[in-house]
Amino acid sequence: LTNKEYDVLLMCQAFARHLLGEQLYEEATKALEKHRTLESSGKGFSSGNIASFMPGTIDYTPHEGCMRKLLQALDENLVCRVTYRGLGAKKAKKFNIMPLKMFSHHETVYLNARWANGEHNKKDPSRYDPLLAVHRIKGIELTDERFEYPKNYDFEKIYNMHFGIMSDEKFEVVAEFNEEAAAYVAERTWSPDQKITKHGSDGIRITFSASSEPELISWILSFGDKAKLIEPKELAKQVKAIAENVCRAY
């Protein structure tokens, strides 16, 4: 490794600390330290120069065993038997999946998969692919059954083409932001097709595509009175109703 490559790995390791758990993070640290002892020049910055902000993140230490099994299943195309308890579910369910991609989003690690052995078969199975939060997997067994990785699977087209991790029917969003919220929104990409124009003296209007109504509503509300949802009108009504309920709570 060159010094620049080593520095980049140090940065990746530090930024991903909260997604790895203690043991996986320690292994990454040891691997980098081994290289440092073999590198003669001693140049490059210390891991003490970079860090992760931890409050509000999930502790993945109890889930390291699950993540290791998932990595093996992803590498060997193994069908998994998982026990999963979804958010708000009263009890866990068991089912077989074909794991396709593990990824991070908003400080959380997810697994995108497809049903194995015809489980939960629908008219359009691709729309109902299971998306599992790794920390909600209560148990996982690797089977001896291997699957052929689907040639039509394209992670980028499923998740990186519009706003929202929940993949449903795509719809167009129009929203207005002002003051610091406008600057925050304008410096980020929310969907590849987004269009931003100036609105008023210190605001912007943004148009983009989304696929998750609940996520969009939460996102708009997170900006308080610095944001206004214009389209879809039906969702704008929902935002207004929620805002009124918040007022009543206070």
Across 47-56, 121-130, 206-215, the highest mean pLDDT is recorded for 206-215
- High-pLDDT (> 90) share of the chain, %: 61
Across 29-33, 48-52, 193-197, the highest mean pLDDT is recorded for 193-197
pLDDT at 244: 96
pLDDT at 9: 87
Mean predicted confidence (pLDDT) in 113-131: 68
Mean predicted confidence (pLDDT) in 112-134: 73
The DSSP code for 166 is S
pLDDT at 100 over 80: yes
What's the burial of 144, exposed, middle or buried (CB within 10 Å: 0-12/13-18/19+)? exposed
pLDDT at 221 over 90: yes
Interatomic CA distance for residues 130 and 120, integer angstroms = 10
Within 8 A by CB and 6+ apart from 151, the residues are none
Mean predicted confidence (pLDDT) in 231-241: 97
Average pLDDT of the residues of the chain: 89
